[in-house]
Amino acid sequence: MRALLQRVSEAEVTVDGDRVGGCGEGLLILVCAMQDDDAAAAERLAGKVAKLRIFRDDAGRMNRSILDAGGAALVVSQFTLAADTSRGNRPGFSAAAPPEEGRRLYERFAATLAGLGVPVETGQFAGDMRVRLVNDGPVTIWMES
């Protein structure tokens, strides 16, 4: 699985003008399941995200995890993270998991992260979403399982 993490002071996702998810201080996590991913990959990635020390401690250093900081997460499906731009001008997405498998793994990732103690809200899988965020830092991290 692939994930793009952005440390945020706030984030929100809407569909047709209606808020479907959001968070205050914490992480906006864009997630993509790839062709050969399985439940173990989703769980492993969620574990890494929960423990990643990218939040400031009292000295201002990135030394605390989202759990340590008491942050929340907004998890949004993002199949375009599978983009192959190696040829031509149009990205290919054939490396992404099929939609139903992608949905299952996206939901598994979010549920695992919540099970680890992170308050989680989600976007709408395969929805035409609008994502608004205030990146804190900015801190943006690319991760793969």
Instruction: Give pLDDT tens digits for 5-56.
Output: 999 999 999 999 999 999 999 999 999 999 999 999 999 999 999 999 999 9
Q: State phi, psi for 116 to the nearest 5 degrees.
A: -85, -5
Q: State phi, psi for 52 to the nearest 5 degrees.
A: -65, 125
Q: How far apart are CA 124 and CA 68, in angstroms?
A: 28
Q: How many other CB atoms sit within 10 Å of the CB of residue 113? A: 25
CATH code matching the domain that covers 2-138, chosen among 2.40.30.10, 3.40.50.970, 3.20.20.70, 3.50.80.10: 3.50.80.10
Burial of residue 97 (number of CB atoms within 10 Å: 0-12, 13-18, 19+): buried
The model scores a pTM over 0.75: yes
Q: How far apart are CA 130 and CA 62, in angstroms?
A: 29
Confidence of residue 4 (pLDDT cuts 50, 70, 90): very high
Owner of token pair 């699985």: 1
Instruction: Give pLDDT tens digits for 80-102.
Output: 999 999 999 999 999 999 999 99
Q: What's the one-letter identity of residue 46?
A: A
Residue of 135, 123, 143 whose CA lies nearest to 20: 123
In the chain, where the domains are located: 2-138
Residue 11 per-residue DSSP state: E
Active site amino acids: 78-80
Owner of token pair 């498998």: 101
